[in-house]
Structure 1
Amino acid sequence: MKIIDSHLHFCPGYPHFDEIAIEAGHINNEEHLRECFQKYNIVGGIVMGNRGVHPDNHTYPDFLRYCVGVEARKLTPEKIQKTCDLVEENLKRNTCVGIKLYPGYDSIYVTDERFEPIYDLAKAYKKPVAIHTGQTAGSKAFIKYSHPLTLDEAAVRHPDVQFVMCHFGNPWLMDAAAVVEKNENVAADLSGLLEGKFDIPEFLEEQSGYISTLKTWLAYIRDYDKLMFGTDWPLANYEDYIEITKRLIPEKYWETVFYQAAERIYHCNF
């Protein structure tokens, strides 16, 4: 079975990412990531851009595509035109398969008018907008901005934009499922639901309620074409994450969730 990791980070040499990679049983470099992809038949991955909007900062190995990340501070009146011009330069590339927004980390709702030109670009280039939802890393962000319900209004206002709810809004799983099920133009990736390296039998016993709740609300959507495998690598161990995802998704939908949905939504051509 072919796999696409629809949500990962690629920041070799960054001490923070080096540390979390070790905790997950990995090494934060290209060689190790390539080895993991070959081992688990992962044919490609989509990097959530943490390198600003300048195209020169987005050079990746041939087995990766990327979403260009747009921070709210780049959308002030004096910066917005330059930001949009650079975002557009990224979107013209085949390797750039979407845009990434960071509500929660940025104190701004996805319905803020400052995002309107970004949504216009997404519509024009027919590329998805991936949005951080759910819990944030660290205690300085404001999670009211990243609640999955905030995506509902943006989706209704922009029916011609494909949205991706990153992290399935975790831990607001019921609300996340409601938004994905209701809106034809909202999909979700299943990244960031677990982190680190762990003993699977022990984890399944200790977190049986969490796993059961995840399965319940993923099934509630009744459309596995809207769900994509993702890890948030290097936060998660690939072997563990693949195994847990298989336990969350009925086997007849594995090919859809692990590969087909990401190929259809991101047009990544892996």
Structure 2
Amino acid sequence: MLNKLLKHEFKDTARIIPMFYLISLIFASMVLSAKTLDIDWFRMTTSFVLLLLGIAVSIVTFVVIAMRFYRNLYSNEGYLMFTLPVKPHLLLAAKGIAAFFWMLLSYGVTVCAFYISLYGFGLTGELSMVMDQLKIYGMEKVIYLFVPMMILATLYLLGQIYFAITMANRPAFHSMGGAAAFLVFIATNVILQIAEAIFAIFVPFSVEIDLVENIGVSLTSQNMFGYLLESMKGAEPTTIVIGFGGYIFEIIMVCILFYVTSRIMKNKVSLR
């Protein structure tokens, strides 16, 4: 049944999201053509538009995903969806998998749009210099952490969005109308940010970047609290300590958010 739900979910979302990919592709082609033909004003203009499109693609994808989740489950369509012989957690899983796929694809489009925009602006040389500097300091492998961090951040944000929309459709929030989901999301996000900061500072699991001798990166059982104390005392730091506790917290909360959302969908949701 999950396969059927996924097929339906991809079919519906594919009507909107790829259109923005196509628009980005058209402008990317314009940038490359203007660069080849050496038309400066057109190259600069299309590069700027492509840069904005790169930002817009990921934002619009999140908006479409959130609106799709609400309309499909908690508007009039919800009366049909919740009468299907499917457990609520499968509905949530199908939407989560499809949303995760589109977000990763949108990130890829955004990265490509940024790079082609920089190429159009003639700034790719500066990007190469940054990479060379990372290699000099032995930190070129740090960039590989970017992909799992983005994956985790995407799941974390999706969990908060789905939780907020689902929580806002409990009977207690009906009087607040459409603002309920936004307020629940803000409140949830603030609380989680505070808790994540505490984990990042006090959990003894960090990455230490040596700034003095053999410049490099290593794992350490030190937490960020001592490093922050030294910084506040005005001492010149010889290392930078970045706590991993926040990422551990995010992994735990992704599981909790999706689990709690599925439980609320099963027992406590009331459609308007």
Scaled by the length of structure 1, the TM-score of the pair is 0.24
Structure with greater helix percent: 2
Scaled by the length of structure 2, the TM-score of the pair is 0.23
Structure with greater strand percent: 1
